[in-house]
Structure 1
Amino acid sequence: MWHKMSQDALQESMLSDRFAAFTSQNVRIKYNTGNIREVKSYRISELFSAYRDILWDDGRHKYNVSSFIGEIDEILLGERFSTFDQSTLDNLIGTLRQRGNSNATINRKMAALSKLLRKAHKMGDIHSLPEFRRQKERAGRIRFLEKDEEARLFAAIRSRSEDAYRLSIFLVDTGCRLGEALGLIWNDLQPTRVSFWITKSGRSRTIPLTMRAREVVAFSGEGRRPKGPFAMLNQPQFRQIWNEAKQEVGLGADDQVVPHILRHTCASRLVQGGIDIRRVQMWLGHQTLQMTMRYAHLATNDLDSCVVVLETRPTECAAGAGLSSQDSVATKQRKPRAKKNSAGIGDKKRA
């Protein structure tokens, strides 16, 4: 019995040694490390430096975005992220609101952050994203220039710079953005129309020119022709002239009197003049009709007929329904014949 067990144990030992030798000599374990990446963390400012030139074109909008991202990085205390969770976003929005930012301002800053984080997520730098919800914005009062304000302001601008005056006329008569006007080249202009190719929405548009807009873009022929009708100016130069002029005419305390007010003024005049809101949208180049609807309340001419209805008296309403006043009186006087007395007086049939 013992001999048999020893023999079995010996055979098991031999098989185990052979298996070990076989596996060690013929089996090779391979590890694929090609898809393994180190998890890194980044500051918001570092992500912006990496992707700003890809996501935003040069210009004022890119400058504003740079300011937004810088403020966000400062609020986050330069913290590094490999994931950006919902609580971080909520705390960020709460801090901006405590600093006095309106919902409209918060939406603009969050739009910039969302665009940056989505790009970083696509490139594998950020591994999770929060849900960005648009804050509800209140419709604020829109300031536009009255005719006398325009005349005084433009005269003060002209006394400082003829080119800035020409640009002001063009802005108020076309409703274009300042950057769109400064970016024009001569090929964008036709005798009676102008085409805007470099726009905020990325969509080009062509609109007709007023008589005075045609005059201010006409090249005088003196000296070397610049690249475009307003290429001799830039935004800081124009804004400085604008601010000096508005101070001179007594509008210095009004923080809404900025160059963009000329776009509001153009839109307001179109709506008040009876132009339907869809055409105003096309003229301004708004991406959505909702943006143009801010001016819809100025179209008061469409409501004039409501006053006529409210001031109409009930008898006049009946007349409007096809009944004259005489007809209504006759209707009231028309009564069924009364039955005569038992003697039959007046009753022809019984008589």
Structure 2
Amino acid sequence: MLVLREGFWYIDLTHPVTSKRVRKSTKTTDKKQAEALHAKIQNDMFMSQWEGDKPKECELTLQEAYDKAVKQRWSRSGTPDTVQYNFNRLVRFLDRATLIRDVTSPLIWEVIGELRDDSYPDSTINRSLAVLSTILKMARDDWEVLGKIPKVPKLDEGSGRLRWLQEGEEEVITDWFRAKGDNDMGDLIEVLLDTGCRVSEVLELRNNDVLLDDRMLVLRKTKKGSWDTQPLTNRALQIFARRTKMFDLPFGGLTRHAAIHRFHTMKKHCGFESDKELILHTMRHTTASRLVMKGTDLKRVQEFMRHADINTTLRYAKLSTKEKLKTAEVLEIVV
């Protein structure tokens, strides 16, 4: 606001982010000139606010931010061990070296999908998300190294919903990427659907991990920390045969962050933006669901998906409403 003092106009403004107060004389008795200067300073403040949403100097990794939060908050909370346990669960699927400025809403939902795939209930996942939320809020409010931060969801405990692709959705997704000339993403989606692999497993493949003659992938870094193999369908085999001839690494030009960002862009253009459950990890759920719905023995599904616990596989045994109706039709015929 402008304040008239002893014939001169003074500016009195508060910064929208830092709350720093600016009080200075315009050195003019002309109100219009004072208003113009006031508007310029106010505009500079707001420009600083928006440009500061993601400061270039913010190079804190997730691990560094966590360590800082422990010292300032959790070391005196009486529950540091519990916090550490919840954080360790989170970083199984969110790299400790991730810059906190790179933590986005789509990335958070990918991590949720990975945790659900590992049979963690939503109540347990919420505890890990609470740790992440606290770290991000401290980075914004206490350390002032972030401006805007993503909303960390609180899951509806007890639902544990698994999202898989419905009829026609695969074509909508892959067609959009192909139409944009993004064959990296088009190929990735089809490989994920045909192998049931995790995104990180596919992106980290080397050419010598693709055994074309044996129709097999060698996964050198699995969730369990050991190596494993995964068979290839005809479609996946053709994709890898093409890509290993063209590139030094099958998906060497694609990082996890880039894949998640491009998938999120597709969602906005294809009408899926509000569907938070539709993530890249949904492809893995789709693979398991398709196998079960086609009547594959659950033990074989477990082996194909590399589930350590059969209970993880059993979650996919819940048929869709359409499949239940088909079962009822069979009973009608029998009767």
Q: TM-score, normalised by structure 2?
A: 0.53
Change (3 A) 1:218 1:71: farther
**Aligned pair partner of 2:189 in 162, 165, 168:** 168
Residue 243, structure 1, aligned to residue 239, structure 2: no
Q: What is the total number of aligned residue pairs between the two structures?
A: 213
**Deviation (angstroms), 1:248:** 0.9
Matches within 5 A, 1:291-330: 291-298=312-319, 304=327, 308=331, 312=335
**Deviation (angstroms), 1:296:** 1.5
Change (3 A) 1:254 1:202: same
| 1:138 partner SS | coil
**Aligned pair partner of 2:216 in 190, 193, 202:** 193
**Deviation (angstroms), 1:202:** 2.1
Matches within 5 A, 1:98-247: 102-106=122-126, 138=158, 140-158=160-178, 159-191=180-212, 192-219=215-242, 225-226=247-248, 228-247=249-268
Contact preservation (8 Å) 1:217, 1:229: yes
Gaps of 5+ in 2: 1-59, 87-120, 133-156
For residues 256 and 282 of structure 1, the distance between their equivalents in structure 2, rounded to whole angstroms, comes to 25
Change (3 A) 1:298 1:197: farther
Contact preservation (8 Å) 1:171, 1:177: yes
Mark the structure with the bigger radius of gyration: 1
**Aligned pair partner of 2:75 in 76, 79, 95:** 79
Percent identity of paired positions between Structure 1 and Structure 2: 28
CA-to-aligned-CA distance 1:1-50 (integer Å, 9 cap, x gap): xxxxxxxxxxxxxxxxxxxxxxxxxxxxxxxxxxxxxxxxxxxxxxxxxx
Gaps of 5+ in 1: 1-62, 94-100, 113-136, 313-351
Aligned residue type for 1:279: R
| 2:168 partner SS | helix
**Deviation (angstroms), 1:168:** 1.2
For residues 219 and 183 of structure 1, the distance between their equivalents in structure 2, rounded to whole angstroms, comes to 17
Change (3 A) 1:104 1:79: closer
**RMSD after superposition:** 4.1
Q: Which residue of 2 aligns with 1:34?
A: none
Change (3 A) 1:279 1:67: farther
Q: Which residue of 1 aligns with 2:311?
A: 290
For residues 310 and 288 of structure 2, the distance between their equivalents in structure 1, rounded to whole angstroms, comes to 13
Contact preservation (8 Å) 1:203, 1:285: no
For residues 328 and 68 of structure 2, the distance between their equivalents in structure 1, rounded to whole angstroms, comes to 51
CA-to-aligned-CA distance 1:68-99 (integer Å, 9 cap, x gap): 9469738x714269xx779x859x99xxxxxx
Change (3 A) 1:103 1:65: farther
Aligned residue type for 1:171: L
Change (3 A) 1:161 1:111: same
CA-to-aligned-CA distance 1:118-149 (integer Å, 9 cap, x gap): xxxxxxxxxxxxxxxxxxx7352211112311
The 4+ residue runs of structure 1 with deviation greater than 6 A are 109-112
For residues 267 and 249 of structure 1, the distance between their equivalents in structure 2, rounded to whole angstroms, comes to 24
Residue 274, structure 1, aligned to residue 295, structure 2: yes
Contact preservation (8 Å) 1:194, 1:207: yes
Contact preservation (8 Å) 1:139, 1:294: no
For residues 304 and 261 of structure 2, the distance between their equivalents in structure 1, rounded to whole angstroms, comes to 28
For residues 327 and 225 of structure 2, the distance between their equivalents in structure 1, rounded to whole angstroms, comes to 38
**Deviation (angstroms), 1:217:** 0.9
Q: Which residue of 2 aligns with 1:46?
A: none
Change (3 A) 1:219 1:72: same
Contact preservation (8 Å) 2:207, 2:244: no
Matches within 5 A, 1:14-53: none
